[in-house]
């Protein structure tokens, strides 16, 4: 650390303290982010490697650029050395403790949106936007966004992390509800929450528990319904049991806000209502076209349509998938899909095609068990007879088959 000098702690990131400092020779201001490694033998975490690689590739006036990586003296961590917006550096949380004047809010918000737009244009979602991750030079009101450690190229999985109260206050509802389908809208929600805090000096949502911000958001804007957020009741099963209060008018909460500011504060809600569903569909549709033999992609695509109640659309996707998975696994998945939607006759029709394409003993047994569950004893007997026929004259195989069959029946009792 001889090359850099720490001045003071100015905040806390996802993995350690953040200090203002300067280069020991040139005295250029820098920002030092401490990253402690739980086990140095495991090396640098993959999400941190991703952040370093990304920040080394990009250059934007409102995103902190990484300059250097320094090992701890005890080798139990590293310092990431970032450029600094200026010498008098504070995070936006401390700057906005009493609320900011309209001109400062406009200037800061504009710069945050420029940074977010740049990230989104590079198919990257920040996912952890909050005042503690936004640093301001209070002399020239220049701002830079930091801490992309949780950011993820869109289309990847959103990582679970230790979710502190300071993060939950700014997390979009779909993240709080552990939705597997997230879009750029989650960053816009966070921007709206930061905007609200700059207006009042306090966080928009309380955060005593994981669901606290969710409850407060619903009180402010009303509980979302299937009409305002398609698929919400399937995503969060508790919602139908809640009383559904009419949300406050945002103008009542922020009476002095200009009309343009009110429109901007409402943008996250607009994103949730209009872009969430289409974006998720587009992602999975494109993924299944590029990698049609990856079953998990088809599962995800089918699941989102089912979550939205679009059974016909989900069925079409299953049928597309069958072209790439014509084996027994694909057929069984197709049958289970119809059974989940209580389409017994459709499932029976698919079973008939299944045993026609794959007339194996196991296929006929599956068909027989299906008929037994639906009380069709005669149909089940016929299926079992077809299974026995497949065994032929092999007495040992037939004896083993009957033994296994009796064991299955005993287990059900």
Q: Check whether residue 254 and residue 112 sit in a common domain.
A: yes
Active site residue 25: no
What band does 35 get if pLDDT is binned at 50, 70 and 90? confident
Q: Check whether residue 133 and residue 183 sit in a common domain.
A: yes
Q: Could you list the residue range(s) of the whole structural domain that residue 30 is in?
A: 4-83
SS3 annotation, 311-355: HHHHHHHHHHHHCCCCCHHHHHHHHHHHHHCCCHHHHHHHHHHHH
* Distance from C-alpha of 276 to C-alpha of 311, rounded to nearest angstrom: 19
352 in Cβ contact with 382 (< 8 Å) = no
Residue with tokens 């966004």: 145
**Parallel, antiparallel or unpaired: strands 134-137 and 152-153:** unpaired
State the average pLDDT for the chain.
Answer: 74
* Distance from C-alpha of 2 to C-alpha of 6, rounded to nearest angstrom: 10
Q: Which of 128, 147, 187, 269 is catalytic?
A: 128
More confident residue, 388 or 249: 388
Residues facing 83 on adjacent strands? 30
Average pLDDT (22-39) is 84
The reported pLDDT for the residue numbered 42 is 67
In this structure, what DSSP letter does residue 100 have?
-
What band does 69 get if pLDDT is binned at 50, 70 and 90? confident
* Distance from C-alpha of 291 to C-alpha of 179, rounded to nearest angstrom: 23
1-13: pLDDT as tens digits: 678 998 888 777 6
Query: What SS3 class is residue 250?
Result: helix
Share of the chain above pLDDT 90, in %: 5
CATH number of the domain at 21, please.
3.30.200.20
The sign of the dihedral angle between the CA atoms of 121, 127, 129, 133 is negative
Q: Give, to the nearest 10 degrees, the angle between helix 295-307 and helix 311-322.
A: 170
* Distance from C-alpha of 343 to C-alpha of 334, rounded to nearest angstrom: 11
What band does 89 get if pLDDT is binned at 50, 70 and 90? low
Highest mean pLDDT among 109-113, 227-231, 288-292, 408-412: 109-113
Q: How far is CA 365 from the centre of its chain?
A: 40
Cβ partners under 8 Å of residue 191, min gap 6: 109, 112, 113, 116, 129, 268
More confident residue, 98 or 319: 319
Range in 27-41, 250-264, 329-343 with the lowest mean pLDDT: 250-264
Q: Domain ends where: 31, 63, 83?
A: 83
The reported pLDDT for the residue numbered 152 is 47
For residue 103, tell me if it sits in a domain.
yes
Query: What SS3 class is residue 5?
Result: strand
- Vertex 148 angle, CA 146 and 153, to 5°: 145
196 in Cβ contact with 202 (< 8 Å) = no
Q: Domain ends where: 37, 63, 83?
A: 83
Q: Check whether residue 201 and residue 220 sit in a common domain.
A: yes
Taking alpha carbons only, the member of 316, 364, 356, 352 closest to residue 337 is: 316
Q: Check whether residue 165 and residue 74 sit in a common domain.
A: no
Q: How many domains does the chain have?
A: 2
Taking alpha carbons only, the member of 171, 271, 162 closest to residue 217 is: 171
- Vertex 48 angle, CA 46 and 50, to 5°: 70
* Distance from C-alpha of 340 to C-alpha of 19, rounded to nearest angstrom: 54
162-201: pLDDT as tens digits: 456 678 888 888 887 777 667 788 899 899 889 888 888 8
Q: Domain ends where: 242, 273, 304?
A: 273
Per-residue exposure over 102-128, b if at least 16 CB sit within 10 Å of its own CB, e if not: eebbbbbbebbbebbebbbeeebbbbb
For residue 212, tell me if it sits in a domain.
yes
Residues facing 70 on adjacent strands? 79
Taking alpha carbons only, the member of 187, 204, 11, 45 closest to residue 116 is: 187
The reported pLDDT for the residue numbered 201 is 82
What band does 298 get if pLDDT is binned at 50, 70 and 90? confident
345-376: pLDDT as tens digits: 988 988 888 888 888 887 888 888 888 888 88
Average pLDDT (324-328) is 66
Average pLDDT (36-55) is 72
The reported pLDDT for the residue numbered 163 is 56
94-139: pLDDT as tens digits: 666 666 888 888 899 999 999 999 998 888 888 889 888 888 887 8
* Distance from C-alpha of 395 to C-alpha of 240, rounded to nearest angstrom: 57
Q: Check whether residue 148 and residue 239 sit in a common domain.
A: yes
Q: Check whether residue 53 and residue 140 sit in a common domain.
A: no
């Amino acid at each position: 650390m001889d090359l850099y000098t720490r001045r003071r702690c100015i905040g806390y990131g996802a993995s350690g303290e953040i200090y203002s400092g300067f280069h020991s020779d040139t005295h250029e201001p820098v920002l030092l982010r401490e990253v402690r490694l739980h086990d140095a033998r495991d090396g640098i975490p993959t999400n941190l490697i991703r952040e370093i690689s990304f920040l080394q590739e990009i250059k934007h006036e409102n995103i902190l650029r990484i300059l250097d990586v320094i090992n701890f003296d005890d080798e139990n961590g590293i310092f990431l050395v970032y450029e600094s917006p200026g010498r008098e550096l504070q995070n936006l949380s401390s700057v906005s403790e009493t609320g900011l004047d309209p001109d400062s809010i406009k200037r800061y918000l504009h710069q945050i949106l420029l940074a977010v737009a740049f990230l989104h244009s590079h198919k990257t979602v920040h996912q952890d936007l909050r005042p503690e991750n936004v640093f301001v030079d209070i002399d020239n009101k220049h701002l830079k966004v930091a801490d992309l450690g949780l950011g993820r190229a869109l289309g990847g999985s959103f990582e679970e992390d230790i979710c502190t109260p300071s993060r939950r206050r700014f997390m979009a509802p779909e993240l709080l509800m552990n939705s597997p389908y997230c879009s750029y809208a989650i960053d816009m929600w966070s921007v709206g929450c930061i905007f609200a805090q700059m207006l009042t000096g306090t966080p928009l949502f309380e955060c005593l528990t994981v669901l606290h911000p969710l409850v407060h958001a619903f009180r402010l804007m009303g509980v979302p319904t299937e009409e305002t957020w398609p698929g919400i009741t399937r995503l969060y099963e508790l919602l139908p049991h809640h009383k559904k209060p009419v949300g406050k008018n945002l103008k009542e909460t922020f009476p002095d806000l200009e009309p343009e500011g009110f429109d901007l504060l409402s943008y996250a809600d607009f994103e949730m209502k209009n872009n969430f569903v289409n974006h998720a569909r587009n992602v999975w549709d494109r993924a299944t076209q590029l990698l049609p033999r990856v079953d998990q992609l088809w599962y995800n695509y089918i699941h989102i349509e089912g979550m939205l109640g679009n059974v016909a659309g989900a069925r079409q996707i299953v049928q597309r998938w069958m072209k790439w998975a014509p084996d027994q696994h694909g057929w069984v998945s197709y049958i289970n899909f119809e059974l989940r939607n209580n389409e017994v006759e459709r499932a029976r029709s698919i079973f008939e095609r299944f045993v026609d394409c794959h007339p194996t003993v196991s296929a006929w047994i599956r068909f027989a068990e299906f008929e037994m569950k639906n009380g069709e004893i005669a149909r089940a007997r016929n299926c079992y007879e077809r299974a026995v026929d497949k065994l032929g004259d092999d007495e040992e195989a037939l004896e083993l088959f009957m033994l296994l069959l009796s064991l299955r029946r005993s287990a059900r009792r």
